[in-house]
Structure 1
Amino acid sequence: MADHYETLGVTREATPEEIKKAYRRLARELHPDVNPSEEASERFKGVTHAYDVLSDPEQRQRYDMGGGQSDMGGFGDIFETFFGGGGFGGGQRGPRSRAERGDDAMIRVDVSLEEVIFGVQREVTINTAVLCGACQGSCCQPGTQPVTCDVCNGQGQVQRQVRSLFGNVVTMHPCGSCHGYGTVIEHPCVECAGKGRVRERRTLPVDIPSGIDTGTRMQMRGGGEVGPGGGPNGDLFIEFRVTHHDIFSRDGNDLLCTMQLSMTDAILGVESTVPGLDGDIKVEVEAGIQSGDIITIRARGIQGLRSTNRGDLKIAVQVATPEKLSNREKDLVRQLAALRKDEAPHLGEFQQSFFGKIRDRFFRQG
């Protein structure tokens, strides 16, 4: 069996580039389209097989270690032909495009509760692959262009004839010289190293919809990385996280908060204006309100996702009992107690508060 290095005319220390140059030189001399003789055809098969082995780092390593030298490659080619590989029209026909679709990308964006109420437009910055400005995706140095591969004549594939139990079988394989592209870039762009794209920080405007919650994902088609060879962009996925607010929390599209009332305001009632997430809120407290009662302000919550309807603002009342009273204040309270003649303290059925329900639901979900 011929030594692959001898077949290509290189030493065992040859670099991948030296192996490639040797193959291209011999292929131009022995290709059936150039030299139709039977002897040249047989040599071309041997040269191609040697290049296939030595151009692949793993196969070359196995070959150098004494493995992978069995001439069972023809049998493998038969399986490749009949079970989805090249030959008989089973594989790709013609050269493949250098332009490929880019990868999808995902970023995480923090948003505040204020931004969630109505939605907002934000700018986000991502580190991604963009079209090379120098070559505009052609992969070539400006002023140059790919040249037709002189091994496969632009077909991107070469024929290989192998002997098998079934006779001679002709299979099609990607050209080892141009890697199936049909063209060779002799002067790759120095800015992108012949990739057609470079990495760059890019700023994108993002319309954040109202009503989103932590974990909500949004897809921006074409917002991902540009593909190799200036191929179409992948998609960008944005995952949102709603940050904690010191006063307001949410239950679906409803906003929740607490309001402390003085004992006198709870007894007599009061009208007050408090700051909300989207402006001041007028709150009317009815006389005699109790701790744990809920004041509902309609349509002052969060605008729903893909909706114009808003949730409610629910305010849980906490009546604050004064801890220190002057003697004069104590006398007035005693007079009030004498006038009211309230019932003595007594036991009753336990009633779970609004915030107790919220707390229990939180622990169940956690």
Structure 2
Amino acid sequence: MFAPLQNDTFLRALRRQPTDHTPVWLMRQAGRYLPEYCATRAKAGSFMGLATNVDYATEVTLQPLERYPLDAAILFSDILTVPDAMGLGLSFAVGEGPKFAKVVRDEAAVAELAVPDMDKLRYVFDAVTSIRKALNGRVPLIGFSGSPWTLACYMVEGGGSDDYRRVKSLMYSRPDLMHRILAINADSVAAYLNAQIEAGAQAVMIFDSWGGVLADGAFQEFSLAYTRRVLAQLQREHDGVQIPRIVFTKGGGIWLDEIAELDTDGIGLDWTMDLGKARARVGHKVALQGNLDPNVLFAGPAQIEAEVRRVLDRFGAHPGHIFNLGHGISQYTPPEAVTVLVETVHRHSRAMRVA
């Protein structure tokens, strides 16, 4: 059904196998920093119009690969598609970010939650298959979801948050309700990712974007435990091929050792972690992904090159590194800065391996 893979560097790095260069892809690589993305979104009329249209989702997923020699593609979608399928009514107001029409803050709202019918997310799975076919074996395709905790934050807050007051208040005052939300979210995420794998995703990533806002102890109970529940349900293979998984917890560096005990192949790190120290802590147990500060891309070419080389040098010429940013790329990033980044990763990492 799909063309043979021509560039498997990303997958081999996830398996901690030797590669001739460090693979690179960027979180939010298909996004608003690209003028061609903005043009396609204008045609679609809205973010959800873009994400729910298979042809548009395919088009914008491939746009960064037309500009840059990236080593992986990532499905164009949003982490909030799962709670939207639960009936919470997702919308994106211009300049305001995501909003839910219904929030989950009391027993009645929690009682209404259930794992959604995956047919409601058929547009995502159809996009995965369409993108995989359009890639024609060029690079692997990454599927993804938000973590149970991160989804719960949006569901309780009703959108983004600066202080996480509502979700933390519920967590501390009614932990029973929070555990109920998280259990449903975990089972929903597992079903969602398995359906992406069935549709053609060659690796999957769990974005625990808000895990780092939790206190020690609360992180293990309300975030890590439910990420573990997702991983335990995921398909390890599809059509005889291993499907690796990556877990990214923004602000989670202090729990690196515990995250590394998960059944995951890779750990995404934000820019606050030193890759050399992180590698010394986890050894060869997992691959590490990251972790350039996205704001480096607002500096000049010489500074970008120097910072990229520094990240690569800190990890060293060992198997198991995937270059990425420490978080998603900013919408204000000059596209030419990404050219410098990608070219420097490939050039310097190749030189490191022959030194």
> Same-fold call, TM > 0.5?
no
What is the TM-score when the length of structure 2 is the normalising length?
Answer: 0.22
Say which one has the larger Rg: 1
Question: What is the TM-score of this pair, normalised by structure 1?
Answer: 0.22
Structure with the higher strand share, 1 or 2: 1
Answer 1 or 2: higher relative contact order, Cα 8 Å, separation at least 6. Answer: 2
